[in-house]
Amino acid sequence: MPRTHPEFANLRIFNHPLIQLKLTKARDKTTQPLEFRRTLNEIAGLMTYEASRCFETRDVQVQTPMETTAGIGLGKPVTLVPILRACIGMTEGIMAVMPEARVGHMGIYRDEITLKPVAYYAKFPPDMADGHVLLIDPMLATGGSASHAASVLKDRGCIDISLICLVCAPAGVRKMMEDHPDVTVYTAALDRELNDKGYILPGLGDAGDRIFGTQ
């Protein structure tokens, strides 16, 4: 189970040894893109397994090879909304444990001068607001992009939103708590701070660049 944080009521931190072991590998600058992508997918799947405990279910009947028995299905649809492009490296890991989920996409980049979010793309399932929405952003740094994305989802009627990120900085968690106190933030680590360029310290570098081998 994730632990809460005394300063941030909206934050849940996963201390599971498997998650922390894989996070250590992701932080290592010598980890190559292929292994980095695989590690992010594995972490995302493990975190989703825990974050989905609160999902509503419904009773169903299933026919086994022997007889009919009771089972459960999802009570509401689940939509994954990765913020492009780095979140592509986490979406497959989530879908591996939740293949029933639909996937929307939101394109946002951070202006390197102003550090403000700039939106350039959005496409979602039409009934997204009827169920759970998992917003995916591997690095919660200033919180600008994640907060903007949550606002877009709310403008489309979504009320059940959670944010899954790999690592976060206090500034980003605080931004989300101020702008969207109803959105729970799930993370593998609350890191120390941001540097003067808005990167998380100690962090793991630029997730997008490390996933795709770019600079």
Closest C-alpha to 165, from 35, 26, 64: 26
Catalytic (active site) residue 3: no
Identify the active-site residue in 38, 85, 179, 209: 209
Catalytic (active site) residue 38: no
Identify the active-site residue in 110, 130, 156, 174: 110
CA distance 150 to 163: 9
Identify the active-site residue in 64, 68, 114, 196: 114
Q: What is the DSSP string of the chain?
A: -PEE-SS-TTEEE---HHHHHHHHHHH-TT--HHHHHHHHHHHHHHHHHHHGGG--EEEEEEE-SS-EEEEEEESS-EEEEEEETTTHHHHHHHHHH-TT-EE-EEEEEE-TTT--EEEEEEE--TTGGGSEEEEE-SEESSSHHHHHHHHHHHHTT---EEEEEEEE-HHHHHHHHHH-TTSEEEEEEE-SEE-TTS-EESS-S-HHHHHHT--
CA distance 149 to 36: 25
Catalytic (active site) residue 69: no
Catalytic (active site) residue 110: yes
Q: Which are the catalytic amino acids?
A: 110, 114, 206, 209
